[in-house]
């Protein structure tokens, strides 16, 4: 499946439609968009850490949801009303300090539903720290 929006176009769209997502600073960014896939980055600060220095589960869930939304937008265009209907995440190991990357690939992109698979790993690390699947409701286009 072919991407119809670039990372830059999606960033501009999100900045315009969802400026509140950067209220605490620009911690979620888009690294790349390609056919069937998107890679996004979390630059975690101390605000996102649990005791013991690990990134919190809610922060990783947000990363997975953001990565899913970016992957879907890249393939359907700027549709603000595409919404999460399900997000399932498995935490596999404690992430080390540093940036986390969420790599989402589209498993199904239908007229009304999209399903994605998302792996989360430390930047430069092959071992996943979490794995998520997400389903989005896509409004009529």
Does 2 fall in a domain? no
Does 132 fall in a domain? yes
- Confidence label for 33 from pLDDT (cuts 50, 70 and 90): very high
> Mean pLDDT across the stretch 107-133?
96
Does 93 fall in a domain? yes
The pTM for the full model equals 0.94
Predicted confidence (pLDDT) per residue in 55-111, tens digit: 899 999 999 999 999 999 999 999 889 999 999 999 999 997 789 999 999 999 999
Please give the pLDDT value at position 24. 80
CATH assignment of the domain containing 64: 3.10.129.10
Overall domain count for the chain: 1
Does 117 fall in a domain? yes
Please give the pLDDT value at position 118. 98
Does 31 fall in a domain? yes
Please give the pLDDT value at position 61. 96
Does 1 fall in a domain? no
- Contacts by 8-12, CB closer than 8 A, 24 or more apart: 9/78, 10/70, 10/73, 10/74, 10/78
Asked whether the beta carbons of 120 and 131 are under 8 A apart, the reply is yes
Predicted confidence (pLDDT) per residue in 19-29, tens digit: 998 888 899 99
In which domain, by residue range, is 47 found? Answer: 7-137
Please give the pLDDT value at position 1. 87
Does 133 fall in a domain? yes
């Amino acid at each position: 499946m072919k991407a119809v929006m670039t990372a830059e176009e999606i960033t501009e769209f999100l900045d315009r439609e969802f400026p509140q997502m950067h209220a605490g600073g620009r911690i979620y960014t888009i690294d790349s968009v390609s056919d069937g896939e998107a890679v996004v980055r979390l630059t975690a600060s101390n605000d996102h850490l649990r005791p013991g220095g690990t990134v919190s589960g809610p922060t990783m869930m947000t990363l997975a949801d953001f990565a899913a939304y970016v992957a879907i937008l890249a393939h359907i265009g700027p549709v603000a009303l595409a919404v999460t209907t399900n997000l399932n995440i498995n935490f596999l190991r404690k992430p080390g300090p540093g940036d986390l990357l969420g790599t989402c690939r589209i498993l199904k992109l239908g007229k009304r539903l999209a399903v994605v698979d998302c792996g989360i790993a430390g930047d430069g690390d092959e071992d996943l720290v979490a794995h998520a699947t997400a389903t989005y409701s896509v409004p009529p286009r």
